[in-house]
Structure 1
């Protein structure tokens, strides 16, 4: 394309030079010849007037007197009746320019000039025109190369941008070139790059959220299946299988929730549900894990609360908080329900050191963690809570108290607060408990970020 631009520009310039150059040469040649003819004619008239004046005064007309009145490179012949012709200068050979003039006394003056002088003048004019044409060609080449570079360099850059997009690098370059058409293409590529970047970010976020959110239900399901393999009691097997099926349904709900959020983050399937059922379900699922850690899992506060939200999402948020306390906290894990205004609140706390002071509110940011963890748990839990119109907050850093705020059913009557339901923690040396020697050293206390 670059060569085509240069060749096309040069072709246009050469055509213009040829058309106007030839026309200029013809015009200048005719102008020079006409000027030379007029000059010779003017000299003939001047000689006739001199001869007339001398004849009228009865003075002798001689070549010596007239030679001073004629240009040296010209030839003049004066014919006076009754006298021999008078010749001044050398008669030019070859082509000549001639002018003849008759006087009042009957004399005839003929002036001749060699055409070679006119040819030399025409040659000098042609050299000037040719030099100007060459200068125009050089300027045209320079401008053509510059314009070609100005047009082809952005196209090459845009091609590299498109190649980068195709290779998976969606970063927009935000380069503009001062050419409206090229800038429009750059705008479209930058917009496409931003859309691709958002799509890739959403896919990566979906994969990260899926791996994190599916881990908890799969862990709970694995524990239930282990219980089934370790017992021969049909009633226990049936009970554990029923709980496992419930967890499979929750797992399916989590997957559906992730897919829905990936397509429309603002979508919500909130319904009115029994908050006690969700909390009871989570306590049942996490009781084996708390017993294996030799820790108590207790519940207190108001019962009979009905909240507005997605049961699966609320279960996932509570499960994340319980898991967070078991993995990074210490002592008793307490769940407490209460009412504030038109909201139902679920608080999850433990007796560990809590969130490090340098993290503070950043504990809910993705990839922010006070320990060697993914840093996704609390971030995903907050996203799930906000998708249902609720919110997840850190009420107290040490000991840690996390609170899930949900909209409360407006038609629900006031319910009394019940005393704490406390379960004695299993001893670490009791049958079925896992000691430090069996499960390895517990991670350092601290809330997950």
Structure 2
């Protein structure tokens, strides 16, 4: 591209120089020739006037007297009637420029100048024109190189940016080049880079959330299947198989919920449901794990409460809190339910050392963990709670108390609001 820009610019300049340069040479050549003829003619008229003035007063007219009146490199011949011709200067050889002027006393004065002097002047003029043309070509080449670099370098840079995007590096470069068209392309590439970065972040987040959220149901399902393999009691097998099927349904719900949140975290399918059913389900799923750890998990508080939310999402939030207590807490884990205003609160607490002071309010941030864990369980749990219009908070650090707040009033539908307005 650089070569084409330079060549095209140079071609334009050469065409302009050829068109205007040739015209200028022709005009200057004619002007110089006409100027030389006019000088010779003026010289002849001047000498004729000098001769007339001397003849009128009967003074001598000789070559010595007129030699000082003739310009160097010129030749003059004065012819006076009845007298021999008077020659002043050296007679030029070859082609000459000649002019003759008559005098009032009947004499004639002829002045000649060698055409070589005109040729030399024309050559000097041509040399000046050629130097100017050369300077114009050099300036054009420099300007073309500068413009080529100004256009080609940004294009190369934009190509590298596009290649980086294609290779999986979505960092925007935020470079601008002072050319509106190129800046527009850079804006589009930066916007694409930001969108790709958000998409990659969402995909990585989905993968991390799925890994974390599926680990616990899979572990519980594995424990149920192990119990099935270790017993010969048909009733126990049926009971454990039924629980395993329920856990499989939970796995399906977890996957669907994660995919829904990855597309739009605000999307929810909140309904009114029995809170006791979700709590008892979690107790049944987690008791084997707590028994294996020599600990207990219990529930207390008000019964027969109804809350608004997505049962699967609430179960995932409680599972994250229960798992957090199993990994980081100690003693008995208690799930307490209570009512405050128009909200149902599910508190999850244990008898462990609590949340370290250095974590504090950052406990819900991703990659924040008190031990060697992923640090995304509580962050995902808070996202799930907020997606259903609830909230998850740490009510107390030592001993740890986490509260899941759910509304008791179903969200008003838009058509209901419209009906009230009409009334």
Report the RMSD for the aligned CA atoms in angstroms. 1.3
Alignment partner, residue 244 of structure 1 = 244
What is the rounded CA distance, in whole Å, between the counterparts of 1:350 and 1:264 in structure 2? 34
Alignment partner, residue 415 of structure 2 = none
Alignment partner, residue 380 of structure 2 = 380
Conserved in 2, the CA contact under 8 Å of 1:306 and 1:409?
no
* Structure 2: gaps (5+ residues): 412-423
Alignment partner, residue 275 of structure 1 = 275
Structure number with higher relative contact order (C-alpha < 8 Å, ≥ 6 residues apart)? 1
Alignment partner, residue 161 of structure 1 = 161
Q: CA deviation at 1:142?
A: 1.5
Stretches (4+) displaced over 3 A:
none
Alignment partner, residue 321 of structure 1 = 321
Conserved in 2, the CA contact under 8 Å of 1:347 and 1:402?
yes
Q: CA deviation at 1:301?
A: 1.2
Q: Is 1:48–2:27 an aligned residue pair?
A: no
Conserved in 2, the CA contact under 8 Å of 1:80 and 1:108?
yes
Between structures 1 and 2, the one with greater helix share: 2
What is the rounded CA distance, in whole Å, between the counterparts of 2:159 and 2:120 in structure 1? 57
Tell me the SS of whatever aligns to 2:273. Answer: strand
Which range is displaced more, 293-302 or 7-16?
293-302
Alignment partner, residue 119 of structure 1 = 119
Q: How does 1:3-402 map to 2 (within 5 A)?
A: 3-402=3-402
What is the rounded CA distance, in whole Å, between the counterparts of 2:229 and 2:194 in structure 1? 51
TM-score under structure 1 normalisation?
A: 0.89
Conserved in 1, the CA contact under 8 Å of 2:308 and 2:410?
no
Q: Deviations 1:215-266 (Å, cap 9, x if unpaired)? A: 1111111122122222222222111111111111111111111111122222
Q: Count residues with an aligned counterpart.
A: 411
Q: CA deviation at 1:60?
A: 2.5
Q: CA deviation at 1:59?
A: 2.3
Conserved in 1, the CA contact under 8 Å of 2:271 and 2:410?
no
Alignment partner, residue 429 of structure 1 = none
Conserved in 1, the CA contact under 8 Å of 2:331 and 2:350?
yes
Conserved in 1, the CA contact under 8 Å of 2:269 and 2:309?
yes
Q: CA deviation at 1:410?
A: 6.5
Conserved in 1, the CA contact under 8 Å of 2:300 and 2:336?
yes
Conserved in 2, the CA contact under 8 Å of 1:342 and 1:410?
no
Q: CA deviation at 1:69?
A: 1.0
- 1:164–1:410 CA distance, 2 compared to 1 (3 A): closer
Tell me the SS of whatever aligns to 2:168. Answer: coil
What is the rounded CA distance, in whole Å, between the counterparts of 2:218 and 2:13 in structure 1? 77
- 1:223–1:35 CA distance, 2 compared to 1 (3 A): same
Conserved in 2, the CA contact under 8 Å of 1:269 and 1:309?
yes
Tell me the SS of whatever aligns to 1:123. Answer: helix
Conserved in 2, the CA contact under 8 Å of 1:75 and 1:89?
yes
Conserved in 2, the CA contact under 8 Å of 1:51 and 1:61?
yes
Tell me the SS of whatever aligns to 1:77. Answer: strand
Conserved in 2, the CA contact under 8 Å of 1:355 and 1:400?
yes
* Structure 1: gaps (5+ residues): 412-449
What is the rounded CA distance, in whole Å, between the counterparts of 2:181 and 2:235 in structure 1? 76
What is the rounded CA distance, in whole Å, between the counterparts of 1:409 and 1:111 in structure 2? 123
TM-score under structure 2 normalisation?
A: 0.95
Alignment partner, residue 421 of structure 2 = none
Which range is displaced more, 51-60 or 297-306?
51-60
